[in-house]
Homo-oligomer: A and B are copies of this chain.
Amino acid sequence: MPAKKKVMVTGGAGRIGRVIGQVHGDRYDITSYDLKESPGLRSIVGNLTDLAALEQAFKGQDAVVHLAADIRVESPWESALPNNFIGTYNVFEAAKRAGVKRVVFASSQHATGGFYLDEPYKSIVDGRFKDLPKGYEPLDETCPIRPDGYYGASKAFGEALGSYYKDYHGLSSLHLRIGWVITADDPTFSPFALSLWLSHRDIAQIVGLCVDAPASLKYDIFYATSDNKWKIWSIEKAKRVLGYKPQDAAGEKWTQKPIPAADR
């Protein structure tokens, strides 16, 4: 049996990190790098702003899955700057210095979240349609960068940095514009959640596909949601290039409730 791949998950104690640990804990040799211990995972407690600690932690790893960030869509600049911008630079630089071959970067649909201001996307996420408009096509990865905050801008920044480290430092970097991973794995509390939902097993699947993608796949960006009816973002590229086969699909019925406390 070949040795398990060593996978470092930054943010391993967070919402998505815990799912990755639960689903892939037997398949990969996972270590969490986070501000706190991740239950059930080997854990290194440290800060993203500590480049030397990251470099040390990344040595010998086959892949780094970079999830850690201030994940609030409305992160103020003062927090996005150290946690998302500097932290992301530190992760790529540490991966380069430590000789890691593959980075999987948790980007976000918020890198292009400005499109929610436009029709028909606005009415879709507001739940104003009974059915999809005639001829409707979801947006794909060719749409321009259009962040809806510093958080979204930091995700676009991570995609740009990944391209630089791919072109000039031989790193392979794959970027998932993640929809919405919900703690209770239930998107029926709002039309926006129905549109953006990425189920626990679907995020685990697509992250695994990125970890295991051939080394020849040097760089790419993929929208990542489940196969939801009301999707804004096309998942065809992830299916075609990564072989993503979403197992879940949000339907069209919701009961408007507040965002669950764990997901705010």
Give chain B nearest CB distance to A107 CB in angstroms. Answer: 12
- Of A52-60, A132-140, A143-151, A196-204, the one touching chain B: A143-151
A164 and B148 contact, Cβ closer than 8 Å, known pairs A77-B89, A93-B77? yes
Chain B residues with CB under 8 A of A168: 148-149
Q: How many copies does the complex hold?
A: 2
Chain B residues with CB under 8 A of A114: 163-164, 167
A164 and B142 contact, Cβ closer than 8 Å, known pairs A81-B86, A86-B81, A89-B77? no
Contact with B along A155-184 (1 / 0, CB 8 A): 011011101100110000000000000000
* A80 to chain B: closest residue by CB: B89
Give chain B nearest CB distance to A114 CB in angstroms. Answer: 5
Chain B residues with CB under 8 A of A144: 163
Chain B residues with CB under 8 A of A208: none
Q: Is A152 an interface residue (CB 8 A)?
A: yes
Q: Is A63 an interface residue (CB 8 A)?
A: no
Q: Which of A77, A147, A148, A164 has the most CB of B within 10 A?
A: A164
| Contact yes or no, A163 B147, CB < 8 A | yes
* A159 to chain B: closest residue by CB: B145
Give chain B nearest CB distance to A190 CB in angstroms. Answer: 21
| Contact yes or no, A153 B147, CB < 8 A | no
- A75-89: which residues lie under 8 A (CB-CB) from chain B? 77, 81, 85-86, 89
Q: Is A117 an interface residue (CB 8 A)?
A: yes
A153 and B149 contact, Cβ closer than 8 Å, known pairs A77-B93, A85-B85? no
| Contact yes or no, B117 A145, CB < 8 A | no
A167 and B145 contact, Cβ closer than 8 Å, known pairs A77-B93, A85-B85, A160-B157? no
Given contacts A77-B93, A142-B142, 12 further A-B contacts (CB under 8 A): A81-B89, A85-B85, A117-B167, A145-B163, A147-B160, A147-B164, A148-B168, A150-B164, A152-B164, A153-B160, A156-B160, A157-B160
